[in-house]
């Protein structure tokens, strides 16, 4: 059997090319510096989402006074409660009376919170309105009756002799 030299050279050339292709693909798998993996993309996206969410958190400022260890202006996250404000103000003093304070009340920007002591004679606006013996109809009430409504803005209009609240 006679083997043709041209066929041998052709087979060797094909095997050499195949071997080079295999070596090239293996080295590309090992070199990941140019490739993006799913984990890298996920980490980057998660970091961006966390930064965006952190920037969306709104801050509010309130004034807390009375029987707290560090009264003054404090900054809280939107949706914070009076209990959170007390904690940031250094906690309650020994004389604090929180029996009339709703610790779960959600605060809003610009509010002033006063924590009374046991000697303070303070009733909340809610208690005053609940304890009043007669209800005030804002549609039919006169000037004197409407001025008894607690914590409301009252504007007397001389054009129609009504109070707008």
Q: Answer with the one of 102, 120, 138 that is the final residue of a domain.
A: 120
What's the predicted TM-score (pTM) here? 0.44
Query: Residues 151, 108, 96, 91: what is their CA dihedral angle, to the nearest 10 degrees?
Result: -170
What's the domain range around 104?
56-120
The C-alpha atoms of residue 144 and residue 66 are separated, in whole angstroms, by 32
Higher pLDDT, 65 or 41: 65
Give the pLDDT confidence score for residue 155 in this predicted structure: 46
Domain assignment of residue 25, yes or no: no
Q: How confident is the model at residue 80 (pLDDT cuts 50, 70, 90)?
A: very high
The C-alpha atoms of residue 139 and residue 151 are separated, in whole angstroms, by 18
Domain assignment of residue 12, yes or no: no
115 plus 139 within the same structural domain:
no
The answer on pLDDT for 40 being more than 80 is no
Give the pLDDT confidence score for residue 84 in this predicted structure: 94
């Amino acid at each position: 059997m006679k083997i043709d030299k041209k066929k041998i050279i052709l087979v060797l050339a094909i095997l050499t090319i195949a071997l080079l292709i295999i070596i090239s693909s293996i080295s590309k798998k090992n070199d990941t510096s140019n490739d993006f993996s799913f984990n890298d993309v996920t980490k980057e996206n998660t970091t961006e989402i966390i930064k965006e969410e952190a920037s969306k958190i709104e801050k509010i400022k309130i004034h807390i006074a009375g029987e707290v260890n560090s009264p003054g202006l404090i900054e809280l996250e939107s949706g914070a409660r009076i209990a959170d404000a007390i904690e940031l103000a250094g906690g309650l003093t020994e004389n604090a009376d929180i029996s009339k304070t709703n610790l779960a009340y959600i605060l809003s920007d610009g509010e002033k919170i006063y924590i009374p002591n046991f000697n303070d004679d303070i009733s909340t606006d809610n208690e005053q309105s609940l304890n009043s013996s007669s209800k005030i109809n804002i549609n039919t009430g006169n000037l004197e009756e409407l001025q008894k409504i607690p914590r409301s803005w009252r504007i007397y209009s001389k054009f129609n002799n009504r109070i707008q609240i």
